[in-house]
Structures are given as structure tokens and as C-alpha cells.
Amino acid sequence: MNRVILIVLDSCGIGALPDAAEYGDEGSNTLGNLARARGGVNLPNLGAMGIGRLTTVAGVPPVEPARATGAFGRMAERSRGKDTITGHWEMTGVILDKAIKTYPHGFPPEVIDPFEKAIGRKILGNIVASGTEIIKQLGEEHMKTGRPIVYTSADSVFQIAAHEEVVPLEMLYHWCETARAQLTGDHVVGRVIARPFLGRPGSFYRTENRHDYSLTPPHATLLDDLFDTGQPVLSVGKIIDVFAGHGITAARHTGNNAEGIEATRDFIAEGGHGLIFTNLVDFDMLYGHRNDPEGYAKALEEFDRALPTLTGTMRPDDVLFIVADHGCDPTTPSTDHSREYVPLLATGRPVRAGTDIGTRSTMADLGATIAELLGSKPLGVGTSFAKELIKGRN
């Protein structure tokens, strides 16, 4: 193969992993539960690829393999954790034996005090909270005082919210860079996230100027291997942030799913070779974390409608993978990510349509397969399924 397109439907899990109870996620099934709660979803293109064979999806009957337009399977997460970084890193060859540290009771003084000293002002918050709720709670005080709102979640994140008319974006980004530099060693976190917002008390809303400052992967990933051998790695959405810029040839930041789909389509149309790696974040950010199954379902239907514009732009030797990185079940009381299997769909002329790829024991199998398809060196983890997937490989 000359080119692979990898699209991550952020948080679109398909059922609880065997160890989900350890994470408080027993019974989670993002896709299955939201479809049932909504009374069905209309996903004819994803359905034809085989997504209805991976879990029960109301409105999406399981396609007969002989009629399928793609190959289908599911992947387990071997790493400890259930966040964006952990899932994306595992797909590209980094398996974490220990979950990145979280702060369920907020950050201790040894974290907050140096941060406040560095930025020259006190903070607000320092609690575990939903991003939309905490700006409702503290946004007005922030506007009066100029003090940033710091909060975290069940994930390993240090989030800083600030009103764009009170704190200029450049200052907010600088504060995040300061926190990223400080949060190392015993107090390392996976991501520092700028969370700018606008509006007035009672009607605050987050803007699309979010920026993530991620931990650097502990060793080379599939992206580094491809980049080092001269193969382009084109990032769409927050991929460049998840990998701290490592192994990326060119990137397009996007504000929403529609922009991400358009940027992916543009990259496909430009031709070339290598890897196009896209994250569509709205599923997670706007709907999973806000327990909005209706919004989640509509976003999936919008992606499904756009899917033919992507596959129709592909060249005869392109392969497209559609996956997820974790779950975020919008039907559960929790607003956090959930520990779930994720879908593994593949299509393109080289793909043996109707092939059941099975349950992969690690997301690293996907990275190992892409490495083989693109002629990169083996990752050292994961088992390639290229021979089962691609016509003419034995």
C-alpha cells in the first residue's frame, strides 16, 4: 500500500471490556446504549462496513458478510487507563503498564503553589468538574478577578479555563505552557488543556480555540518511524497535540467534526503517500462528556452521510480505517470516559470485504498492520492482520 487513512471517532466505544468494573464502567456501551436510548440511529454506510456486527445497534442490522463493503472487528485496550492519550499511543505502539496519574481530589499545594507563583495570580476551582459546569459556577468570579479556573477530571488532565475577553488567548496558552513545563516527575499529567470561553453569566460557552499540551510519548511511535523514513504523516484535529508534535509532517487544526472531515478529504484529494491521521473530537467533547445521546447520534449520522465523500476521493490503492480510542457512554450517570472495546472497520479496494478481523487483544495490532502496509519497520508490539485484511496477501 502507498497510503493509509486512519479516522478516530473519539470515544465511540462498543461495549465494556472485561476489566471495566475496575474503572466503574461495567455495562458501558457507548454506541449500543446511545442508539437504544435514542430509539435507533441511521448509519447505512457504517452499517454496510460492518459496525452492526460488532455490537447491537438499534437501527443498524448486522450486514451479511457477503454484502459488506468493509472488514470489521474490535480492539481491546491493553494499557492501563481509558483516555485519549492512552488509546492513541497504544494504536501507534506505546503500551502503558501504569496509568498516567490522575487527581480525583484536585491538585496538591506542591502543584498549585508553583503555578500561581509563575503566573502571578491565584487560581479558582482546583476540583474535579465538567468543563461546562465549572464555567457556569465560577465564570462570573473569574471575569471579576481575572483569576484562571483550574480543574481536572477522571483523566490525567490539568485544564485551565479563561474568558477570552478577560485573558487573551496568548496569555492563556502561555499559562498552559508554564503548567506543562512544571507538571513532570511525580506530578506528571497526560495533558494540559487550554479551555477558553465567551459569553456572559448564565450563557457562557466554550470556544473552538482549545489547545492541548501533551506529554511526549516515552519512545518512538509508528508516526516517528514513518516520518524518519520520509513518509508523510498528515495530522487532522488534535492528533498533533496528542503526540506533542512528534512524527508529524503537516497538521491542520480543526474546530469541529465538519472541519475535520473536510480537512481529511482535502488531504486525500492532494494525493501522495504515507499516513493521514484524523481525530473527530465532537463525539467525545460535545456529546459523550455532556451525556447527550441525541447529539451523539446526530453527529454519527452526519459522519455517516459524509463518509461516501471520503471513500469516493480515495485512490484505488488507499486503505481507510475507522476506529475509536475509548468509550464515553452518554447514557450513564458518569460524564467521564468509559473502559470499552472499540470498533475496527476497514475499507478500500485492496480490502477483503466481509472479513471478520476478530477481537484484537491490543490496539497496537492496528499500528503493526499499518506499519506492514506502508513498509515501515515492525513496531515491536502488536500483531499485524495485514494478511487477513488485504487481497493477494497469504
Burial 28-41 (b: 16+ CB within 10 A, else e): bbbbbbbbbbbeeb
* All residues at 6 or more sequence positions from 7 whose CB lies less than 8 Å from its CB, including other chains: 264, 278, 280, 310, 320, 321, 322, 323
Domains and CATH numbers, the chain: 3-98+217-389 (3.40.720.10), 109-214 (3.30.70.1250)
C-alpha separations of 188 from 109, 120, 149, 181, 228 in Å: 15, 22, 19, 10, 28
Specify the pLDDT at position 155.
82
Specify the pLDDT at position 240.
95
Residue tagged 487481497 (cell numbers): 391
Distance separating alpha carbons of residues 100 and 117, to the nearest angstrom: 25
Strand partners, 159: 151, 193
Q: Are 88 and 342 in contact (CB under 8 A)?
A: no
Total residues found in the chain within this entry: 394
- pLDDT tens, the chain, 394 aa long: 789 999 999 999 999 999 999 999 999 999 999 999 999 999 999 999 999 999 999 999 999 999 999 999 999 999 999 999 999 999 999 999 988 888 989 999 999 999 999 999 999 999 999 888 999 999 999 999 999 999 998 789 999 999 999 999 999 999 999 999 999 888 999 999 999 999 999 999 999 898 889 899 999 999 999 999 999 999 999 999 999 999 999 999 998 999 999 999 999 999 899 999 999 999 998 999 999 999 999 999 999 999 999 999 999 999 999 999 999 999 999 988 999 999 999 999 999 999 999 999 999 999 999 999 999 999 999 999 999 999 987 6
Q: Are 43 and 32 in contact (CB under 8 A)?
A: no
Distance separating alpha carbons of residues 304 and 301, to the nearest angstrom: 5
Specify the pLDDT at position 213.
92
C-beta neighbour count of 10 within 10 angstroms: 26
C-alpha angle 12-51-303 in degrees, rounded to nearest 5: 60
Amino acid at 303: F
Q: Are 40 and 58 in contact (CB under 8 A)?
A: yes
Specify the pLDDT at position 168.
97
Specify the pLDDT at position 392.
83
Could you tell me the three cell numbers for 289?
462528556
Distance separating alpha carbons of residues 389 and 123, to the nearest angstrom: 52
Specify the pLDDT at position 141.
98
Strand partners, 340: 16
Amino acid at 178: T
DSSP assignment letter at 316:
T
Region of residue 258 (phi > 0: left; psi between -120 and 50: alpha; otherwise: beta): alpha
